[in-house]
Structure 1
Amino acid sequence: MTPARLLVPLSLALLAACAQQPKQIVSLDDQKDCPITLKTGQTLMLMLPSNPTTGHRWLMQNPAPSILNAMGPEVFNTPEDVGMVGTEGQSVWRYKAANAGTGHLMMVYQQPWAPEVRPERTFDCAITVN
């Protein structure tokens, strides 16, 4: 058998093996990507635009506790090429898909001392874990 004839079946077998493995980290940065389905054990990285210098913060309304486990606190990142204070960046959270089921990850962007004021933004994502 020629090397070219061996290469095609081996390549297809390798592609099939790769397709069966889900990504370990699933990134979510827009509500348009919702609803989302995860496999148990996958990590969900949620990245939302944020600017804490305005006093606004993303406040958790529903962390989908029956299906997701938080892997730490919120981390705020700014673009490296912008050295100005007060620049918008991203708030990042990581969750582990812990249990099979469905839930909603819901957050509001508002000033914590003014809960009566309508949130500037909301994030509500239906999540299914298999």
Structure 2
Amino acid sequence: MIARQPRRLLPFAFALLAACAQQPTSITLQQNQQSKCPLRMHPGQTLVLTLPSNPTTGYRWEVKDAAASVLRSLGPEVYSNPEDAGLVGSAGLSTWRFQATQPGDGHLLLVYKRPWEVGVAPAETFDCKVAVK
């Protein structure tokens, strides 16, 4: 009778593993995917945000609101130039990584502008509501 107990728990263990496997540990989002917002996340999930960028023009992405009530930054912006490596003045990608920390709602807002131009509207905006459940 005791030997049968682990067998009864086996289907439950498989169901639990399947439920965990269906939840991605990382979400990747790009500028043209703002339609995925509002974004639903679970605590512990990572958000990788990648936006086109060309700092040689003076434009930079500025984080206006990092949804700090529900997201934690995993480091500074990382700039890469994947297509034309070594070509001065070519565009690249800026990437940020965030981790969902606790349930709640937040707002992730970035603007693409020249920092010294005061009173000028941003050239681009990335605006995404984030819900952590």
TM class, shorter-chain normalised?
Answer: 0.7 to 0.9
Taking the TM superposition and a 5 Å limit, the aligned residue runs for 1:34-49 are 34-49=37-52
Which ranges of structure 1 fall in alignment gaps of 5 or more residues? 1-12
SS at match of 1:17: helix
Instruction: Name the aligned partner's letter for residue 26 of structure 2.
Output: I
1:28 aligns with 2:29: yes
- What do the CA deviations read for 1:47-71 (whole angstroms, capped 9, x no partner)? 0110000000001111111000000
- What do the CA deviations read for 1:4-35 (whole angstroms, capped 9, x no partner)? xxxxxxxxx79x81675411111010322211
Could you tell me the TM-score, scaled by structure 1's length?
Answer: 0.82
Find the counterpart in structure 2 of residue 71 from structure 1. 74
CA distance in 2, matches of 1:80, 1:120: 23
Give the ranges of 4+ consecutive aligned residues of structure 1 lying more than 4 Å apart after TM superposition: none
The alignment covers a number of residue pairs equal to: 117
C-alpha contact 2:79 2:94 (8 A) present in aligned 1? yes
Instruction: Name the aligned partner's letter for residue 117 of structure 1.
Output: V
Find the counterpart in structure 1 of residue 3 from structure 2. none
Percent identical among aligned pairs is 46
Choose from 84, 87, 108 the match for 1:84: 87
Find the counterpart in structure 2 of residue 103 from structure 1. 106
Instruction: Name the aligned partner's letter for residue 114 of structure 2.
Output: Q
Could you tell me the TM-score, scaled by structure 2's length?
Answer: 0.80
SS at match of 1:53: helix
SS at match of 1:119: coil
Structure 1 residues 50, 114: closer, same or farther in 2, change over 3 A?
Answer: same
Q: Which moved more, 1:111-120 or 1:76-85?
A: 76-85
